[in-house]
Amino acid sequence: MQILDLSHVLTNGMPVYPQDPPFILEEIVNFENHSYSLSILKTGLHAGTHIDAPYHFHSSGLKINQINLKDLMGTARIIDVEKEVKAEDLPSLENMDILIIRTSWSNKWGKKEYFKDNPYLSLEAAEIISKSQIKGVGIDGPSVDPPGEITIHQKLLSNGRWIVENLKNLDLIKSPLVEIYFIPLALEGEASPVRAFAKIK
């Protein structure tokens, strides 16, 4: 069995969503002057590979620490889409926990165009997902919405689905069905960086 890492490394200078705060990791104690290292971290919660909890857009929605860990892992179905995920692109959403949208957009990570004209979910597709048993949706791009819009976030999150964005390495998964795990920090907030990984048999 292989464990495939699906997360971008969190590092200084990494790309963040336009207008979001930068990611800053600062070593304030180092081995040159002490016998150990100690760092401080300052970041927006939506940096890198991260999960949006329902509270992101709804005051009564679950925060990250309130999402049951068992609901952040399970059988995922991967679908391949170049641009807009339409209703007809969706498979049967039965017997699966998570829907993963693979667009190869992660190949643009670190380039200016990554946050421009990205792939996204149509409203019709989001409505179908919201009425299904799916726990959450992941995508290898910066958002499930077109740039500058929030309608799809509102639809999914208001119906209790979480969203994972900025996945990578999906092209290395050959099977349409895979076991996927999204492990966030136990934050009392609307989002968290995640260590995302898949089990490949």
How far apart are alpha carbons 95 and 176 in whole angstroms? 13
Q: Alpha-carbon torsion 41, 44, 46, 48, what sign?
A: negative
Which are the catalytic amino acids?
Answer: 56
Burial call 155-168: b when 16+ CB within 10 Å, e when fewer: bbbebbbbbbbbbb
Query: Quick one: angle between helices 151-158 and 123-130, nearest 10?
Result: 10
Cβ pair 69, 97 in contact under 8 A? no
End-to-end CA distance of the chain: 5
Nearest to 103 by CA among 126, 86, 78, 128: 78
Structure tokens at 183: 């492990």
CB atoms inside a 10 Å sphere around CB 110: 11
